[in-house]
A = this chain, B = another copy of it.
Amino acid sequence: MPVDSPTLALMARKLRRHSLEMTSEAGSGHPTTCMSCAEIVSVLFFDEMRFDPQDPSGADQDVFVLSKGHAAPILWAALREAGAIHDDLLSLRRYGSPLEGHPTPFSPWVRVATGSLGQGLSASAGMAWARKLDRSQGRVYALLGDGESAEGSVWEAAQFASFHALDNLCAIVDMNRLGQSGPTMYQHDLSVYERRFEAFGWKVAVVDGHDVAALRAAFARARSTAGAPFAILARTFKGRGVSFLEDKEGWHGKPVKKGEELQRALAEIGPAEVTIRVEARRYPASAAKAAAAPTLTPEYEPGEEAATREAYGNALAKLAKASPAVVAIDGDTSNSTFSERIKRTAPERYVEGYIAEQNMVGVALGLATEGKIAFASTFACFFTRAYDFIRMAANSKPGHLVLAGSHAGVSIGEDGPSQMALEDLAMMRALTESTVLYPSDAVSAERLVELAARTPGVVYIRTSRPKAKTLYSNDEYFPLGQSKTLRSSRDDAATVVAAGVTVHEALAAHETLLGEGIRTRVIDLYSVKPIDEETLTKAARETKRLVTVEDHSVFGGIGEAVAGVVAGLAPVTRLGIRKMPRSGKPAELLAVHGIDAAGIAAAVRKALGK
């Protein structure tokens, strides 16, 4: 049953009242940011979107992403009014309430955590692309602010969406003129944004964002537009409806005081006795995909030379063949990361992200919310570009999001420091909830890609540029949180903990030292996080001295991770990169930075006082 515009306007008024009351009760939050988009949210939730308030999965329904995450109160209010949640709205921002200060997956209705601005459109584009892939009909709505449209990532998402003709995607920009510290760049000059969205390939409607009928008409136009995404630029006022808040500076992120001030604000808004029953509306179910585990078998000869990045590509192709859920995106480096190999088995499940790593990760997160096992690949160093997106992706607790970084460390050689990932292990480890894997040969690479695909949340896998000898047999398994002890005896005088390219250096150092009568234990720490505390502790107790060696900064990587485990048990000599590298041959650079076999052997001798 269609709702009439006056009723929707009354609901907008009710949502404004909720937003004010909730934030006043919490004593913090962003009521004015909610008030500017009250009509937009009212029209979306009570008229435009087809969804089932009993089913937060979003399957065969329209879905919503609140990119301007600080407007969380009005999202909770709308969900409550729609019958989708039953939480006490006044629990906003209280510890333990799912009604957090910004949207998080502690509410089942939040597909992606937001609150770091400029990220929602990329995730939405990923959802829209997945729905095109699956030929499912539900549309994707993303609500942005004008302030956040200054983020370049918004334009990366915009170009991705138009390039892929995502006409199932609708962005609404709540142009309320005011940012946090003052007016936005272009204030109410909507023509600037109109030209930009058009230049980025979108169809655009410019409307009065407080005019319910105008919004409804714009949504209708959006729904009937084929071949391009649609942007509704809504001219609004922050704090709309309350004289001392509306269009006033100094009210960002500030609630009105409980008591007299709040009552005055509510009185100005006026009464809003309205209830709108949201009926479950769904699209025809899309064809069910057969569930299948992503599985593979490595096929390498012992001693065969292959780069772990190439093995990554092989694994990706195999997993895609085994499971229809596997999809991949890359940032114009697919011939170097070898993610292009997925095209051999599932070309339709590869999407080119071009050189826009933030959007690449955001899109991959969106894909993950649609049930995909999403792989995003680029040079490991370029994931630094997307660190905020990765942080928010981890906070989104995705089903399966694998980030694969190639060309790690100085072992890439001549391209020099701009292309060398030296901080990636630190940055991926620092996420409170993440998994970090680092293969040393082709077999472990394939097995760890398989493991990554089966591990929930954000998983990072680090591959290397140089070819490496195959160390493991094809039937070797690599459980999460364990390690491989490759050399060991009862007489080990020290333990060398290595990973990736340095495993091979550690094995060579082992031979050198053996010739000198020094026995070393060699551990391949393929699971950097979670880390194998048991094996490391045992090695510290038995061998008394540890040397870690990593093709990565000595700050925040493997060395400190190991030191954190064994502190008190054994001294740890940390070998790694301590100064900005230069161009040079890989072997030359490993030597210069003291992480080659000779450097390891020297460190062991020194640790033993020899």
Q: Are A101 and B185 in contact (CB under 8 A)?
A: no
**A585 contacts the other chain (CB 8 A):** yes
Partner of A155, one of B27, B155, B182, B330: B155
> Please, which residues of chain B bring their CB within 8 A of the CB of A154?
152
> Please, which residues of chain B bring their CB within 8 A of the CB of A101?
414-416, 419, 583
**A371 contacts the other chain (CB 8 A):** no
Q: Are B102 and A415 in contact (CB under 8 A)?
A: yes
CA distance A14 to B405 in the complex (A): 38
| Min distance, Cβ A253 to any Cβ of chain B, angstroms | 8
Q: Are A354 and B185 in contact (CB under 8 A)?
A: yes
Best-surrounded residue of A27, A198, A568, A581 (most CB of chain B within 10 A): A568
**A429 contacts the other chain (CB 8 A):** yes
> Please, which residues of chain B bring their CB within 8 A of the CB of A200?
196
Q: What is the total number of copies of this protein in its complex?
A: 2
Q: Which of A230-238, A380-388, A597-605 contacts B (4 or more CB under 8 A)?
A: A380-388
Best-surrounded residue of A182, A569, A579 (most CB of chain B within 10 A): A182
Given contacts A414-B28, A568-B571, contact A354 B556 (CB under 8 A): no
Q: Which of A316-324, A420-428, A494-502 contacts B (4 or more CB under 8 A)?
A: A420-428
CB interface residues, A 168-200, toward B, < 8 Å: 179-182, 184-185, 192, 195-196, 198-200
> Please, which residues of chain B bring their CB within 8 A of the CB of A568?
567-572
> Please, which residues of chain B bring their CB within 8 A of the CB of A116?
381-382, 385, 418-419
Q: Are A151 and B151 in contact (CB under 8 A)?
A: no
Partner of A567, one of B102, B114, B423, B566: B566
CA distance A141 to B187 in the complex (A): 30
CA distance A420 to B268 in the complex (A): 35
Q: Which of A44-52, A240-248, A333-341 contacts B (4 or more CB under 8 A)?
A: A333-341
**A210 contacts the other chain (CB 8 A):** no
**A478 contacts the other chain (CB 8 A):** no
Q: CB-CB contacts of A345-372 with B at 8 A, as 1s and 0s? A: 0000000101111110000000000000
CB interface residues, A 579-597, toward B, < 8 Å: 579-585, 588-589, 592
Q: Are A354 and B414 in contact (CB under 8 A)?
A: no
Q: Which of A32-40, A389-397, A512-520 contacts B (4 or more CB under 8 A)?
A: A389-397
- What is the size, in residues, of chain A's interface with B at 8 Å between Cβ atoms? 118
CA distance A432 to B580 in the complex (A): 6
CA distance A359 to B185 in the complex (A): 14
> Please, which residues of chain B bring their CB within 8 A of the CB of A148?
355
Q: Are B152 and A153 in contact (CB under 8 A)?
A: yes
Q: CB-CB contacts of A89-118 with B at 8 A, as 1s and 0s? A: 000011111001110101000000111111
Given contacts A151-B356, A163-B185, contact A114 B564 (CB under 8 A): no
CA distance A192 to B435 in the complex (A): 40
Q: Are A563 and B567 in contact (CB under 8 A)?
A: yes
When C-beta atoms are compared, the residue in chain B nearest to A431 turns out to be B423
**A541 contacts the other chain (CB 8 A):** no
> Please, which residues of chain B bring their CB within 8 A of the CB of A199?
192, 195-196, 198-199
CB interface residues, A 537-570, toward B, < 8 Å: 546, 553-557, 559-561, 563-564, 566-570
Given contacts A418-B114, A560-B564, contact A330 B181 (CB under 8 A): yes
Q: Are B395 and A388 in contact (CB under 8 A)?
A: no
**A417 contacts the other chain (CB 8 A):** yes
Q: Are A100 and B583 in contact (CB under 8 A)?
A: yes
Q: Are A152 and B423 in contact (CB under 8 A)?
A: no
**A26 contacts the other chain (CB 8 A):** yes
Q: CB-CB contacts of A457-476 with B at 8 A, as 1s and 0s? A: 00000000000000000000
Q: Are A333 and B423 in contact (CB under 8 A)?
A: no
CA distance A564 to B568 in the complex (A): 11
CA distance A15 to B606 in the complex (A): 50
Partner of A426, one of B429, B582, B592: B429
CA distance A227 to B192 in the complex (A): 17
Sampled A-B contacts (26; CB under 8 Å):
A26-B414, A27-B414, A28-B414, A93-B416, A101-B583, A104-B416, A113-B418, A115-B419, A152-B152, A180-B333, A181-B332, A181-B335, A181-B340, A192-B199, A195-B195, A196-B199, A392-B418, A395-B580, A427-B427, A427-B430, A430-B557, A431-B555, A432-B578, A432-B579, A554-B564, A560-B563
Given A385-B387, A430-B553, 4 other A-B residues pairs in contact with their CB atoms under 8 A? A395-B580, A433-B579, A546-B567, A560-B563
* Chain A interfacial positions (CB closer than 8 Å to B): 26-29, 69, 93-97, 100-102, 104, 106, 113-118, 147-148, 150-156, 159, 163, 179-182, 184-185, 192, 195-196, 198-200, 330, 332-336, 340, 352, 354-359, 381-382, 384-385, 387-388, 390-392, 394-395, 397, 413-419, 422-423, 426-427, 429-433, 529, 546, 553-557, 559-561, 563-564, 566-572, 574, 577-585, 588-589, 592
Nearest 4 A/B pairs, CB to CB: A152-B152, A115-B418, A568-B571, A95-B584
